[in-house]
Amino acid sequence: MNVRRLIPTAALAGAVALGATALTACSGAGATGSKDGKVGVTASFYPLQFLAEQIGKDHVKVDGLTKPGVEPHDLEITPKQTAQLGEADVVLYLKSLQPAVDKAVAQSGVKNIVDAATLTELEVHGAGHDHGAEEAHAEGEGHDHGHGEGEGGKDPHVWLDPVKYAEIAKGVGAALEKADPDHAADYRKNTDELVGKLTALDTEFKDGLKNTASRTFITTHSAFGYLAERYGLDQEGISGVDPESEPSPARMKDLQAVAKKDNVTTVFFETLASDKTAKTLATDTGLTTDVLDPLEGITDTSQGADYFEVMRSNLKNLQKALGAK
């Protein structure tokens, strides 16, 4: 587990104050009154950056705080990035996913701040048995309260459900309309197009996972609770929503039993976190390994160049692992 080295609140405040004067030419978000005339959007991590780019297109200049290859939960904010936040016209973030970002946003003084967690309903998901979420909600079992959770132990990984991601997209579109009313019609048009693509993706997942030999998948990082619930699957996480927590021997033993009982063939790992526990479990149970990407960032090793390509790779990998017919 990495220890976050968060910069003190006083330093954050000082950096924001400096940002208004000393860093007006910051390479991050541009301001409405800047030379290019574009709306400056700062997004905390890739899923929100992608929405801003798709909806804003030529009218916005988007900067992401979490660079490719960085695990977003462990992001450390620099004074320059804090100053950059203070200059943005619109800030997009997901409260409680990245504590360092939460502190910086609180100090930024930006008028148009959008918390994606308020644009859709967040739910509690445990490390296992997410199908329908009945047991987890009723008994409150299996909930890991690690750094990756939202407020009240709620799962923040809403972008992995195309339906919920579309709800967030609508909120982002509305925020851009408010910040730049002159181009409101374009933002509405782009939002509608993106929501249409997400609706089509939802249909692909529904159809592609309708008939499978197994409904259970094992993954190192319990990021897929919304996806599992949406498409009637059971997520069994080696760790909870914290991708770096070490599972107990008892949990590993439980997963071996689950794999046998539910005809599990594959243990999934991801590109931004260690695959050690996945490979250990796979070796102990005679299973194969494959990638299921939580889409917290795009790198050269991602199975696709953007959200839609990686989600379709996830679908293909799930179909193979679950024995889709």
Q: What are the tens digits of pLDDT across the range 260-282?
A: 899 999 989 887 777 788 888 88
DSSP state for residue 123 in the 8-state scheme? B
Q: What are phi and psi of 240, to 5 degrees?
A: -85, -140
Same CATH fold, 209-322 and 9-118+157-200? yes
The residues of the chain scoring below 70 in pLDDT are 1-35, 126-152, 240-246
Residue with tokens 């851009």: 176
Distance (Å, whole) CA 137 – CA 19: 44
Pick from 28, 9, 6: nearest CA to 86: 28
Distance of CA 56 to the CA centre of its chain: 20
pLDDT tens digits, residue range 126-160? 655 444 333 333 333 333 333 345 556 899 999 99
pLDDT of the residue at 173 = 98
pLDDT of the residue at 116 = 98
pLDDT of the residue at 84 = 83
pLDDT of the residue at 144 = 34
Tell me how long the chain is. 325
Pick from 256, 231, 247, 87: nearest CA to 161: 231
DSSP string, 172-215: HHHHHHHH-GGGHHHHHHHHHHHHHHHHHHHHHHHHHTSSBS--
Asked whether the CA dihedral 75, 311, 41, 119 is positive or negative, the reply is negative
E strands, the chain, in order: 39-43, 60-64, 90-93, 112-115, 216-219, 234-237, 266-269, 288-291
Pick from 234, 260, 15: nearest CA to 131: 234
Distance (Å, whole) CA 252 – CA 276: 13
pLDDT of the residue at 264 = 93
pLDDT of the residue at 35 = 41
DSSP state for residue 245 in the 8-state scheme? P
Distance (Å, whole) CA 2 – CA 12: 21
Superfamily of domain 9-118+157-200: Nitrogenase molybdenum iron protein domain (3.40.50.1980)
pLDDT of the residue at 36 = 83
pLDDT of the residue at 226 = 97
Tell which CATH architecture fits domain 209-322. 3-Layer(aba) Sandwich (3.40)
List the domain boundaries for the chain. 9-118+157-200, 209-322
pLDDT of the residue at 125 = 84
Are the C-beta atoms of residues 89 and 41 closer than 8 Å to each other? yes
